[in-house]
Structure 1
Amino acid sequence: MLTPKRLLLPEGSDARLHRAMVAHAAAHLRHSAPARPARPLGPMGIALASAIEDARVEQLLCRDFPGVRRWFVDALAPPPDASDLGFAAFIARMDRLLMLPAWQDDNHWVNKARRLFDATVARAGLEDYAAFRAIASILANDLGQMRVRLDPQHCAVPAPWRDDNSYLWDFGAAQTPPDDTIALQASGAWPPPPAEATGDGSGPSPAGGAELELGRYRYPEWERQQERLRPGWCTVIEKMPAWQGLSSMREQRAANDERLTPPALPRARHLERTRRLRRQWEGDDVDLNAAIEALVDRRLRLRPDPRLFMRSGKVLRATSMLVLLDLSESVNHPGPGQTCSLLDIEKQAALLLAASNARNSADRLAIHGFSSNTRNEVYYYRLLEFGKPLQANERAMIGALRGRYSTRIGAALRHASAHLRTEPAGQRALLLVTDGAPSDIDVHDPQYLIEDARMAVAEARAAGVRTGCIAVDSAADACMRRIFGWHNYCAVHDARSLPARLARMHARLVCQGNGGA
């Protein structure tokens, strides 16, 4: 256990291990800033950031004192079993790969960790802490997508010479034990993060049966190598979020949201274009279709419709807009420099857009969300239905959302398009809000789900549904451009600007549907 004043070593360890422990502590004292705030990070983010920081300071110490490397190498534990896909095994394999440049590993996540680490060393050098902190965020997001679980109370640091990294973090007064009660535990358990670090959406999923299942639907999926649709390949499960029985804190937040006055958001411009209005009581020309139907009705001895004319006029066509939110595990984590998760910002943006639309527009707005757990379980949540006002129940459901699982965009887009096709005649638009490229744990080809999502967008457009996307990840530019085209997506570099960007994209799609540029 390393503290600013003392280093506590366990009894019974051999001299080689003690030597490596002292060297590791010296590396932290020389190159790590102590007591960084842990509040923005969840448990997995803290664990990954600590492991990357351990590797960084050890590399710096080995650079200054090359003979120290042998101390760490001698203390390395045997490599874990390749079949072990637990969090500790991933960290142990990453530690070995970063310590031994000649070591090879067949796991894609472990190899990605070394590739990112080496690229950051070449680009920014070992002294740039922020660059390596960004690596930890990427790797933690990948583990979340891979469904790797972390128990903060029982997570052990796999390298036997490393401490529990409490020196690196400030968990707040409630979580930091007094100095005289600190003792080194053989497990090296991580201290629990503060409750505020995880936010509303990063806790465990509701107990079985807490979410009401509304129905199951089968959809095809595009096989890019064979260039064909696999019929009935994906199962979309509609569910209602478990919002009943929320805590008093969450109810208070919902009440505060209800009193919140939305800022001035961009409004959709409904352009009235001159059109030929058919089946009119009077006009300057005969509507041939109406006249033919009137003749048929007379032959059948039915009363014909007397509206036989057409004239020029202006018609305002309402738009049915469906906003589809990405609810995968990765949205639970805050972005670089952020203090709240992307999920919290998505909720705020959706609520503000719904409130603004209800006051300032006649458009029909729906808010849905999705996540996926392989092709057999694509979860779909109907949070706000078309034409319904934003009331307490809808606010509670949106507030209770939890980010889980992965991002199978194609199946969700097909189901959302099916909902839009049941809307009354008029313009129909679908807007996806996501934090990156599509992915799922049963797909290993990175292009497979991208091509499937591209085909789902093409199918929606062929059915008269305009599509757009907001990607809260600048690295997803090429992927989203491939799926939605050059002019139908935008990348948000700062998640805090998502509410305004969402309102602008909504206005843009509505404007296009009414003849705007």
Structure 2
Amino acid sequence: MNASDGFPPEWRERWHVAHGRIDQAGYGDLVADAYRRAGPALAAEVGPAFAIRLAATISNVAIRSGRLAASLVPQAARTASRHFDEAALNSWAAAVEDVARRAPEAVLALLENTGRLAQALALPDFIAFVRMGLHLGDKDAGRRRAFFALESGEAIRLVEGRGADGGLAGLRHGLGLYLNALWGLAPPIAEAPPDAPDQMRRRPGFGGGGVRLPAAFAGFEDGEAKLLYRAAVAHIGAHHRFTREKFPATGLKPLQIALVSLIEDARVERLAARTMPGLAALWRRFHVARPEGPPIAIALMARLSRALADPDYADPHGWVEKGRALFAEAVRENIGDQQLSRRVGGLLGNDIGQMRLQFDARAYVVQPAYRDDNMGIWDFGPDDSQAPVEIEAMLEGARIEQQAGDDGRREEGEDGDTASGRLAEAQDEDGLLVARYPEYDHVTGRYRPEWCRVREMPGGIGAPRVASALGEARSDIVERLSTLIKASRISRQQRVRGQTEGEFLDMDASIAAMIARRAGEVPDTRVYGRYERRSRDMSVLVLIDASRSTTERVRGSQGSVLEMERLSTALLARAMTDVGDPFAIAAFCSNGREDVRYVRVKDFDRPFDRFAMARLAGLAGDYSTRLGAVIRHAGRDLRRQRSYRRLLLVVTDGEPSDIDVDDRRYLVEDARMAVHELGREGIDTFCVALDCDADSYAQRIFGPRGATVIDTIDRLDRLLPAVYLRLRS
């Protein structure tokens, strides 16, 4: 083709100027020849205006990313032209220039994958793909290059999920709405990576703050497939609501893990069906196991699953009927006790062993098809070699870098499958511990990965007289609080036997009484038992708002809101110290998403001594209130506590805000999602709003029972009973 063929006569002079500029720019023959060949073809296929405009893109790429990348631009443009019109191609070229300017190392990979991306993604999705890659950050160029090269799991999921026809791709949005309507959850829904193990690709799963679903369910089509996907997300939502903490897998065999998971699946479904009976019918239609065939372990487990879900199902096998009876008895005693799954599953596992039935963990796939692979409910500890399949975190949201402290010790990161993502170690340029967390965008309904940076700042030391005053003030309130905390019973229920009346029969005492009666002796009438909470087992982290607004005066008082926060926290800390409950104190403020500040006043393993009191007295109010990021950061500390109940108590004076956010709802919705994330992990969150009109946002974030407003310290001892009552319910 002649260098001017394809261009109308009125455009040929402009074309000569455009390619002449590329010829004389010194980019080399490779770049110039590629443009001379592709330009006329683009003019004929798309239009002369785009062919000439492409010269600017080639120049930008050559200057920032080198000649090799620039030589690929013309052919990549021709490839993209098979899928995009002229207007879309102009947007494509602008996106390539944006990548060259902000991530020059990634341009080559982006151009090499143009065909795959243009085929799989419409233009808005392509732009979203580019923006997501650019948001990975300047400090991790390798990860960003891998994203554009389609070597990262996140990029593959975006491309494969959107490019698929039918199956999950067509249902994803509706499933998100369905899950939100049922359980008030809005996690990202992704397709299982194509390189994942077979069990992971065939069954749903959750973890890392997201939901993982198969691209399609083999053997299910159209309306039945849609119902199956709905059953899957409804089941995962039931786990989020009712499986309050992960089961420790230490010391358990794969068969025991599978059976405990089976019982837990049935337990959460039974609880969900109490409030939404229609779910039971939805789940039941997919239980197709039949009471025939060889009595192998995997087949018997599928039959037991159906027996626990379908009251009309009859099975002649003794093991299945025993499982049904054990489950029914445990449910009658206390269906809210998650440990019943551990007990019943353990008993059934022993029976399988005694029957000499083989269980192949690698061949086992959870039945029925809508149930998840159960990896989200197990804690395999730091060594995950026990896991039946290898699990990758779905979303990588937070990176914590390991650094040496001033005392030479190493700060240890901890992996966690939450919406905050997998934690890795990172280092701030100032040598302070830094964490990156996602932030939820309520407009798009998605998380922005690694959007906020939380820095742990050294706190100031207050004047000795201020610290001394905090340690001595209002001893009357401290005594009342201590009495209240001692009287509370926040712990696991225990069986108390040998009672004259109660909730269940004490079988040992009943047998002894019957023996005594038959022997002609007077039987002991204490043959009952009941459930009681006889102690406290709770950890509390008090999170104090130290933003600039807290320096304002309390209405009708000479003191500031921050002074009120410090005093109320000191009173509560002194009371918890008296009774020996573990607690921690931290404060926060923010100056944009890259500078969220977190000050440790007292850690769980440190005493509340004069040094902690001095740090509390030294808190000063400044900057803004980016609440969601610090809730996620505080939740990281609470996850490490092994207490029965864990409470994050947020003390603040105003709604979330920051200098880089104009939408008032944005930070409120993100904080609300952060509270939900902790709730799914069994961490309770409560807000004490001081001297403010916070009801409008506090109840939206923390729920109608999760927030209260007080205007005087004297109300503190009346507030706590509401908190403890909520924890007991």
TM-score normalised by the shorter chain: which range applies? 0.3 to 0.5
TM-score (norm 1): 0.48
More relative contact order, 1 or 2 (CA 8 Å, 6+ apart): 1
The structure where strand makes up a greater share of residues is 1
The structure where helix makes up a greater share of residues is 2
